[in-house]
């Protein structure tokens, strides 16, 4: 099969050089002690990788590796997120598990966390268990309560009863990276608390933000910036021209609403802590963001960003059906699509999956049941489809069809014997008492691995699974947990129509 090289729109090395230099300049200007609030995902930043083709999702870790002799890392997590088991959507895991995973991954990269801060801590039971778990694994844990007087009483906020009431985090290196598993982790409050304590100790550090989105030096309605609005539609973020930057420097810079709204208060708090005029004239100036300088093909990143906006639409539409998002969030992304004249059909796999579902329905005319379709766009631009049948989910047939095509195995050859599939289905029904006997993708991949031991064709096909990473997939239904987990592990970009594959409320 002829392979195509995906178009690259972003230069990692240029960005890495520019961003590293900018951070070191901030450290030098801050009495050689800088608290750097790390916005976005510190590792596995797949949103950035999708909207900026060529962007290394682990570029920030590579940057920290370059700076590891100069940097300490502090991890923040909001106690309320632990208590309500908030999910990190890209991995499907809770924030507390994401925090543990992040610590492990940083260690694998040779980076250690000097401490974990549980923010807005009020002895929530789940947060206490999380704290105990970390401490018993020799991880230093600090707790910060809600800041007294915030946000109106500056004198109380910047006092021993406000920031002074928080645990002081001991750090040794000139750069302190403050990060978290997601937004709202309390990173800013942690930085400000540290500034307060340090100034009381005669140390005069600085503060800055590490940002990726929105990109300040591209247009407000550039698709990359609009994709950021789509990604944060659930928390109602929106981009805007930074009025403080325009007034101070006479030039247009793009920021987002919360940073702009918070700037006057933040400026006053910084001035109260330091006892001097704030060095920053705008929230944009406060950030360290060289992502725009890494864009080398604007056309490529614009198209990629438009595709990401469509993905976000499907994500929120499905979350609405599942009860975890509201209608306003879905409508917000629809508005953004309208502004850029994007249609859901611009995602090629959508129409292909729906056609597969219709063909299954026509083939079984008069049959009662759900007809699910799936489609994948391979690296060469070709589309492969799959559909459900009594023994297998649509996702399972899709992946089998895709790897057969990649391995040049004729369609008439079965990778899994129908007898084997039926035996597994009977096992699920008779011994495991499962209501659904058809194989989901996770089960199919296990069966495939077992068959590869005796079948060279299956072994050849399995070697092609890694070529699916980064491919686009669409389903005509919300995937089951087994299908979703399997597709995530394969590294494909999944979307689905907001439909259920069964009338059952629970499949056990």
Q: Does residue 364 surpass a pLDDT of 70?
A: no
Q: Do the domain assignments include residue 437?
A: yes
Task: Give the pLDDT confidence score for residue 313 in this predicted structure.
Answer: 98
DSSP assignments along 138-150, one per residue: T--EEE--PPTTT
Side-chain half-sphere CA neighbours of 210 within 13 A: 31
Q: Does residue 488 surpass a pLDDT of 80?
A: yes
Residue 298, C-beta contacts closer than 8 angstroms, at least 6 positions apart: 9
Q: Does residue 362 surpass a pLDDT of 80?
A: no
Q: Does residue 43 surpass a pLDDT of 60?
A: yes
What number is the average pLDDT over the span 267-292?
Answer: 96
229-263, pLDDT tens digit by residue?
999 999 899 999 999 999 999 999 999 999 999 99
Task: Give the pLDDT confidence score for residue 392 in this predicted structure.
Answer: 87
* Residue that finishes a domain, picked among 168, 196, 216: 216
* Residue that finishes a domain, picked among 216, 247, 282: 216
Q: Do the domain assignments include residue 229?
A: no
pLDDT bin (cut points 50, 70, 90) of residue 276 is: very high
* 138: exposed, middle or buried (Cβ count in 10 Å: 0-12, 13-18, 19+): exposed
* 505: exposed, middle or buried (Cβ count in 10 Å: 0-12, 13-18, 19+): exposed
Q: Does residue 195 surpass a pLDDT of 80?
A: yes
Neighbours of 385 (CB within 10 A): 23
Our count of domains for the chain comes to 2
Q: Does residue 474 surpass a pLDDT of 60?
A: yes
pLDDT bin (cut points 50, 70, 90) of residue 85 is: confident
- The verdict on 355 and 211 lying in the same domain is no
Q: Does residue 7 surpass a pLDDT of 70?
A: yes
Task: Give the pLDDT confidence score for residue 331 in this predicted structure.
Answer: 98
- The verdict on 165 and 16 lying in the same domain is yes
What number is the average pLDDT over the span 160-181?
Answer: 95
Q: What's the gap between Cα 237 and its chain centre?
A: 16
Q: Do the domain assignments include residue 22?
A: yes
Range of the domain at 443: 347-496
Q: Do the domain assignments include residue 373?
A: yes
CATH of the domain at 134: 3.10.630.10
Task: Give the pLDDT confidence score for residue 205 in this predicted structure.
Answer: 96
Task: Give the pLDDT confidence score for residue 366 in this predicted structure.
Answer: 47
Q: Does residue 1 surpass a pLDDT of 60?
A: no
Q: Does residue 351 surpass a pLDDT of 70?
A: yes
The 8-class DSSP code of residue 347 comes to S
Task: Give the pLDDT confidence score for residue 365 in this predicted structure.
Answer: 55
Distance CA 127, CA 76 (A): 12
H or E segment to which residue 176 belongs: strand 175-179
308-331, pLDDT tens digit by residue?
999 999 999 999 999 989 999 999
Task: Give the pLDDT confidence score for residue 94 in this predicted structure.
Answer: 87
pLDDT bin (cut points 50, 70, 90) of residue 501 is: confident
* Residue that finishes a domain, picked among 216, 248, 274: 216
Work out the angle at residue 352's Cα, subtended by the Cα atoms of residues 349 and 355, and round it to the nearest 5 degrees.
150
Are the beta carbons of 300 and 307 closer than 8 angstroms?
no
- The verdict on 170 and 27 lying in the same domain is yes
Are the beta carbons of 378 and 471 closer than 8 angstroms?
yes
121-145, pLDDT tens digit by residue?
999 999 999 999 999 999 999 999 9
Task: Give the pLDDT confidence score for residue 412 in this predicted structure.
Answer: 86
Q: Does residue 468 surpass a pLDDT of 90?
A: yes
Q: Do the domain assignments include residue 312?
A: no
Q: Do the domain assignments include residue 427?
A: yes
Q: Do the domain assignments include residue 226?
A: no
Q: Do the domain assignments include residue 295?
A: no
Task: Give the pLDDT confidence score for residue 508 in this predicted structure.
Answer: 38
pTM metric for this prediction: 0.90
What number is the average pLDDT over the span 81-109?
Answer: 85
CATH of the domain at 484: 3.40.140.40
Q: Does residue 301 surpass a pLDDT of 70?
A: yes
Distance CA 281, CA 338 (A): 35
Q: Share the mean pLDDT of the chain.
A: 91
Paired tokens of 156: 């109380």
420-441, pLDDT tens digit by residue?
777 777 776 666 566 666 889 9
Percent of the chain with pLDDT over 70: 93
């Amino acid at each position: 099969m002829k392979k195509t090289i995906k178009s690259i729109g972003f230069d990692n090395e240029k960005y890495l050089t520019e961003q590293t230099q900018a951070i070191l300049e901030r450290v030098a200007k801050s009495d050689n002690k800088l608290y750097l609030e790390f916005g976005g995902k510190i590792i596995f930043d797949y949103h950035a990788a999708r909207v900026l083709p060529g962007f290394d999702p682990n570029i920030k870790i590579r940057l920290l590796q370059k700076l590891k002799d100069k940097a300490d890392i502090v991890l923040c997590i909001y106690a309320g997120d632990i208590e309500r088991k908030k999910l990190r959507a890209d991995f499907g895991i809770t924030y507390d598990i994401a925090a543990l995973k992040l610590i492990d991954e940083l260690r694998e990269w040779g980076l250690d966390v000097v401490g974990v801060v549980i923010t807005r801590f009020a002895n929530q039971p789940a947060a206490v268990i999380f704290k105990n778990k970390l401490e018993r694994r020799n991880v230093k844990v600090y707790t910060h309560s809600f800041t007294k007087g915030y946000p109106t009483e500056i004198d109380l906020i910047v006092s021993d009863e406000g920031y002074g009431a928080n645990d002081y985090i001991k750090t040794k290196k000139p750069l302190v990276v403050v990060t978290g598993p997601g937004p709202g982790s309390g990173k800013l409050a942690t930085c400000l608390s540290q500034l307060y304590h340090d100034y009381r100790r005669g140390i005069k550090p600085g503060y800055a933000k590490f940002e990726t989105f929105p990109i300040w030096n591209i247009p407000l309605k550039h698709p990359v910036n609009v994709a950021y609005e789509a990604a944060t539609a659930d928390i109602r973020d929106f981009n805007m021209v930074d009025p403080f930057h325009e007034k101070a420097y006479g030039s247009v810079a793009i920021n987002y609403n919360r940073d702009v709204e918070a700037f006057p208060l933040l400026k006053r708090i910084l001035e109260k802590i330091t006892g001097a005029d704030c060095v920053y004239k705008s929230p944009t100036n406060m950030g360290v963001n060289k992502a725009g300088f890494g864009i080398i093909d604007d056309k490529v990143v614009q198209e990629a960003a438009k595709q990401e906006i469509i993905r976000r639409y499907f994500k929120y539409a499905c979350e609405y059906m599942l009860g975890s998002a509201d209608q306003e969030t879905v409508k917000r992304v629809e508005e953004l699509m309208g502004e850029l004249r994007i249609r859901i059909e611009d995602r090629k796999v959508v129409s292909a999956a729906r056609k597969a579902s219709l063909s299954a329905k026509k083939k079984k005319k008069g049959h009662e049941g759900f007809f699910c379709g799936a489609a994948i766009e391979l690296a060469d631009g070709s589309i492969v489809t799959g559909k459900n049948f009594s023994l297998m989910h649509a996702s399972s047939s899709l992946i089998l069809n895709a790897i057969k095509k990649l391995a040049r195995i004729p369609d008439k050859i079965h990778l899994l014997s129908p007898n084997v599939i039926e035996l597994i289905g009977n096992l699920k029904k008779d011994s495991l008492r499962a209501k659904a006997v058809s194989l989901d993708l996770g089960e199919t991949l296990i069966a495939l691995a077992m068959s590869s031991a005796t079948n060279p064709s299956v072994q050849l096909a399995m070697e092609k699974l890694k070529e699916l990473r980064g491919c686009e997939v669409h389903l005509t239904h919300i995937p089951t947990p087994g299908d979703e987990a399997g597709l995530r592990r394969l590294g494909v970009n999944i979307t689905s129509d907001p439909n259920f594959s069964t009338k059952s409320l629970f499949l056990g």
